Structure formats: structure tokens, C-alpha cells
Amino acid sequence: MKNCNQCGKCCVNYSDGGLSATKSEIEFWEVFRPKIFDYVRDGNIWMDPQSGKQLQRCPWLRKVVNEEKYTCDIYFDRPDDCKHYPITIDQMVKDNCEMLEPRDLLQTKKAQKSLDKIMLDSRPSGY
């Protein structure tokens, strides 16, 4: 399994309503990160502050100029849904994740163990 190359597929695939934030994350943003909180409506994230409608793309996702790479403007304050991704090899296959290598598809249990090791610092224990 390769390291993440910041292709942005996960952000693009899930940013149009496929992500959620916990009540405590939303409360944190309201108090300490009001610019992030501006994009929250009724517990839903990445809502247009003017219209209240779901945005089609995360407002914090930025394409690196002249590269096939993305960055996150709120990386350290992003929701747990983002921090914990990817969870399973099946999810990565579905999302066409570029971390996967051909051998990972042939040995999915081994690949899952590699993924779990890579994501150890990003996920709470028990995942």
C-alpha cells in the first residue's frame, strides 16, 4: 500500500453531504473556529452560508496549482469523518483510492492490516 498522495478523491467523493460532524466538533467550531461554523446548518456540514443548501464540494478543499494534488484549509480542525478515512479496503476500492496497489486487491486481509497500521494515529482505538 502506498502513502496518501493527496489526490483528493476522498474529499470530492464525500464532501457533498457524505460527511458528518459530531456535536462536540460543531460546538468547538462555533466557539473557536466561527469561519468553519458558518458552513454548518442544523447539524449538517458544508452548507452554503447564504442559501443554506448543501455545497457540492467541501469549501476547505484546495487544488494545488499545477499539480494533481489537494490540500485542506482546516486540516487540523477537520471532522473525524475526514480524519478516520479510509476505514476499509472495500471503501478504498469503491472510491478508486490511489493508495491501493494491485497486490492489495489480491491480499485484502493483509492490505487491511497495512491500512490499519498506517491509520493508527488517525483513528481512535477499537476501529
C-alpha cell at position 29: 467550531
Q: Dump pLDDT digits (tens) for 62-119.
A: 999 999 999 999 999 999 999 988 889 999 999 999 999 999 999 999 999 999 998 8
C-alpha cell at position 116: 490499519
Using CA atoms, how far residue 106 sits from 1, 18, 66, 72, 110, in Å, is: 12, 28, 34, 32, 9
Distance of alpha carbon 76 from alpha carbon 83, whole angstroms: 9
Cβ atoms < 10 Å from Cβ of 57: 12
Using CA atoms, how far residue 68 sits from 35, 56, 91, 96, in Å, is: 27, 20, 21, 15
Polymer length of the chain: 127
Percent of the chain surpassing pLDDT 90: 73
Domain count, the chain: 1
Whether 81 is in a domain gets the answer: yes
Q: Which domain holds residue 53?
A: 9-118
Q: Dump pLDDT digits (tens) for 27-76.
A: 999 999 999 999 999 999 999 999 999 999 999 999 999 999 999 999 99
Whether 76 is in a domain gets the answer: yes
pTM above 0.95, yes or no: no
